[in-house]
Structure 1
Amino acid sequence: MAEILSLHDAVARYVEDGATVAMEGFTHLIPFAAGHEIIRQGKRDLTLIRMTPDLVYDQLIGAGCARKVIFSWGGNPGVGSLHRLRDAVEKGWPHKIEILEHSHAAMACAFEAGAAGLPLAVLRGYVGSELPRVNDQIKFIECPFTGERLAAVPSVRPDVSIVHAQKADRAGNVLVEGIVGVQKEAVLAARHSIVTVEEIVDDLEAHPNACVIPGWAIDAISVAEKGSLPSYAHGYYPRDNHFYKEWDAIARDRDTFTQWIEDNVMNAGGNA
């Protein structure tokens, strides 16, 4: 059952060095505040999972938190490359990281399989793709009913999943509105889960088709106002497009990046 904790205490309790951590949120509701808290606490050797690594994973990688990244498509949306990711892969700064790249479809299926407690996901995919040449986690199996050749990938079962949402009620149930990615699957697939929210309310006022993550699936809820900036939270604040453009220059240079982290994360506290 969900417990209301400070973000500091939630990360300290559930994110251990060497853990496998999924941080999800598609286009919006990206858990930047939680990512910054992980950096502040100096977590190391993390395996980071995310369908679309963007700025938050660029920051975690550049800060030395990551050992491995499992992902599908990594970049600064609408701008270009993730320079801290590239520097780590190509030049080993601040240290070398391992990468496993999947398709979006495979990642989504892997999260669904993890949420269902299954060991693998099966999909029609990777036909003609070169990814199986560089990702040894992509296998092919024969359907026992039709003989069809299908792709199989391991399910995603993180040690801890972290998502951001608009609000939680006092019983620990969480409402996710707007574009919904694999937040609920990430939470259900994980051994532990942390959800940051804009606010805690008496009534979620959820409509009949809303995505509500039940409190029994969540370990910790932390209030983090504007906790997904520079991405956006539907109904609360817009995307900071200017910052995404600024990040390209910040992340290109190691010293500029390191100073940005020092000024805006390490010395900021709270919802940096």
Structure 2
Amino acid sequence: MKISKRMTAKDAVAKFINDGSNVMVGGFFHSISYTLTHEIIRQKKKGLTISTASFNEHADLLIGAGCVDRIDTSYIGMEVFGACESFRRSIEKGIPHKVELEEYSNFAMMARYMAGALGIPYMPVNSMKGSDMVKNAAWMGDNKVKLMKDPFGSGFEHVLVPALQPEIGYFHVQRADEEGNCQMWGIWGDAPWSERACKKVIVSCEEIVSREIIGRDCNRTILPGYKVVAVVHAPFGAHPKNCQGYYDVDRPFIRSYIKASKTVEGWKKFMDEWVYGVADRDEYLKKYINTFGMQEFLNLKARDFNSSSVNYGY
């Protein structure tokens, strides 16, 4: 029997993300769920451990809002746009409080998710050898990494990183059906492994489509419905980042956040306007259009560049 998992962002966050949870925050610049990130902040979740291979300003928002105690990742920054100022304030000045950082290489984070998804206790990597990441640990202590000689006799020493299986994860995709079968195209990043490593997943999506449409293009299905506990319909849910085939990165908006976040006062003003000051994503989009105009909103929309059709018949 088909069971609809469709619900609002408010209900999904309230039901499945608890204070103190270990949360995988999906997205690799592309397809980051700001819909769910903003809702976590509005609900004032606390004590979270957040992880992903590479964080952008979505982590900065969560850190600045006091939602996060621990961060498990390889990178927190804004790429070409600049630094994450709330993260810097937390580490350097303890504002709003000091977070703990467990730092791995980008590939090591991917390998940890891979091990978690495959149900094995660890994964060997070579990317951290010779770096201080092997020596320095936060809450993981001696269990951050282990060193092991090749059991097959080469004499090579491998770095073993522990499996990561977050209690809950969330990410944004182009489309899903109501049962939670999710499809994604464009930049995948760590998505195929990080999502499967999670015990449960909340997904936000641009479109909710029928099971038939999912089945007709099954190779784009990145996560099966049995892993998904909630499907949130959220058009423009990854804004200000991009979602391929739907809209581009909103560079001016991101720059405005970076400028505002240089000070605590500026950051709070931005949050009051764009997160706390709107009830949900619909209000957020209405505010965006009222502030910047419909044309600016339409300029973000992606041009058409359709793939060729394929025959799945047999």
What amino acid is aligned across from residue 15 of structure 1 in structure 2?
I
Q: Once structures 1 and 2 are overlaid, which stretch shifts more, 241-250 or 75-84?
A: 241-250
Matches within 5 A, 1:82-231: 82-135=84-137, 136=141, 137-146=144-153, 147-202=155-210, 203-204=213-214, 207=217, 209-231=219-241
Q: Does the 8 A contact of 1:2 with 1:216 survive in 2?
A: no
- Compared CA separation, residues 19 and 208, structure 1 to 2 (3 A): closer
Secondary structure at 1:3's aligned position in 2? coil
Count of matched residue positions in the alignment of Structure 1 and Structure 2: 272
Question: Aligned-pair distance for 1:237?
Answer: 0.7
C-alpha deviations, 1:47-89, integer Å up to 9, x for none?
0102111110000000000001111121112022111001001
Question: Aligned-pair distance for 1:243?
Answer: 1.9
Secondary structure at 1:234's aligned position in 2? coil
Question: Aligned-pair distance for 1:270?
Answer: 1.3
Give the TM-score of the pair, scaled to structure 1: 0.95
Distance 2:192 2:123 in 1: 17
C-alpha deviations, 1:4-43, integer Å up to 9, x for none?
1111111111100000001111121011111000000000
- Compared CA separation, residues 156 and 206, structure 1 to 2 (3 A): farther
Secondary structure at 2:169's aligned position in 1? strand
Secondary structure at 1:22's aligned position in 2? strand
Give the TM-score of the pair, scaled to structure 2: 0.83
Q: Is residue 263 of structure 1 aligned with residue 265 of structure 2?
A: no
Question: Aligned-pair distance for 1:2?
Answer: 6.5
Distance 1:246 1:141 in 2: 47
Q: Does the 8 A contact of 1:111 with 1:155 survive in 2?
A: yes
What amino acid is aligned across from residue 125 of structure 1 in structure 2?
S
Question: Aligned-pair distance for 1:148?
Answer: 2.3
C-alpha deviations, 1:179-204, integer Å up to 9, x for none?
11222322221121100001101213
Question: Aligned-pair distance for 1:205?
Answer: 6.7
Q: Does the 8 A contact of 1:120 with 1:152 survive in 2?
A: yes
C-alpha deviations, 1:233-271, integer Å up to 9, x for none?
111111111122222211110011112111211121212
RMSD: 1.6
Provide structure 2 residue ranges, at least 5 long, that are not aligned to the other structure: 285-314
Greater helix content: 2
Distance 2:186 2:96 in 1: 36
What amino acid is aligned across from residue 257 of structure 2 in structure 1?
W
Distance 2:136 2:71 in 1: 14
